[in-house]
Amino acid sequence: MAAGSHLESFYVTPENIYGNTLLITGDEFAHLTKVLRKRVGDQISVVDGCGNRYDVNIVSLTRDSAKAEILRRRRLVGEPLVEVTLAAAVIKGPRFDWLVEKATEIGVRCILPVISQRCVVVPGELKKNRWQRIAIAAMKQCGRTILPKILKTMSVEEVVKHFSNVPIKLVTEAGSKGSIRQIAFSYHDKRGDFPRKVLILVGPEGGFTSEEITIAQEHGFECVSLGQRRLRSETAAILGATLLLWELEEL
């Protein structure tokens, strides 16, 4: 593992944290006791998805919960300072599952499923719930402390209007001469720092229509290329987000 070793992490919601103690319940409790067979006195690591990592000591076990004493709290472990929103066209099958997992691992803050004119599937609420569970597992595995949000599905038109105030907004377009590096450093040269919020909009394998590209540009999006080879949609999404984090010195 590239980031170094860390204690097995468990996820608790902020509602289950009370002063200097917390409760582990549900699937996390089952994994704690039935899979890892943790006992009273064992120390584990817990994250709340809101930027906090807790080193805790298990003090009691019941049939359906574990109570733990908080020994230490650390903030924003494993987190980039910049908030990256990855707005990616929905793709069929398990490929968007993979996208959610990898986007979480590299440090994306929000994942936004997008319906474009060339999309062939529209995800339901069950899909969103599944993607959130995948994000939780990936957050624990990679050592992050913020749980990426799975935002509601939007059309391209809704995305460009909703995120009009984000400082850097990119849209991928095959054949474009724009580059993520060029745009990031142009922003830095003008303002002396990188922005705290950015968004990259990535289309389906057929790309966005010319109409969608025009709408994005009219709302301040800048077109960027991800290279000369044609990529699968999920590959383009992860590559784009990775390059963006790299150029902002936050990977």
Which domains occur in the chain, in start order?
9-75 (2.40.240.20), 83-247 (3.40.1280.10)
Q: Indicate whether 92 pLDDT > 90.
A: no
pLDDT tens digits, 148-183:
999 999 999 999 999 989 999 999 998 888 899 999
Task: Kindly report the pTM of this predicted structure.
Answer: 0.91
Tell me whether residue 208 is exposed, middle or buried, using C-beta atoms within 10 angstroms of its C-beta: 0 to 12, 13 to 18, 19 or more.
buried
* Confidence band, pLDDT 50/70/90 cuts, at residue 30: very high
Q: Report phi then psi at 167, rounded to 5.
A: -60, -45
CA dist 238 and 251 (Å) reads 12
Average confidence (pLDDT) over 29-56: 95
**What is the residue whose two structure tokens read 């580059």?**
179
Q: Report CA-CA distances (Å) from 119 to 16, 205, 207, 221, 235.
A: 39, 9, 10, 20, 16
User: What per-residue confidence (pLDDT) applies to 3?
Assistant: 43
CA 203 to chain centroid, in Å, comes to: 17
User: What is the reported pLDDT for 8?
Assistant: 62
* Cα(222)–Cα(230) distance, integer angstroms: 20
Write b or e for each residue in 54-78: b if 16 or more Cβ atoms lie within 10 A of its Cβ, otherwise e. Answer: bbbebeebeeebbbbebeeeeeebb
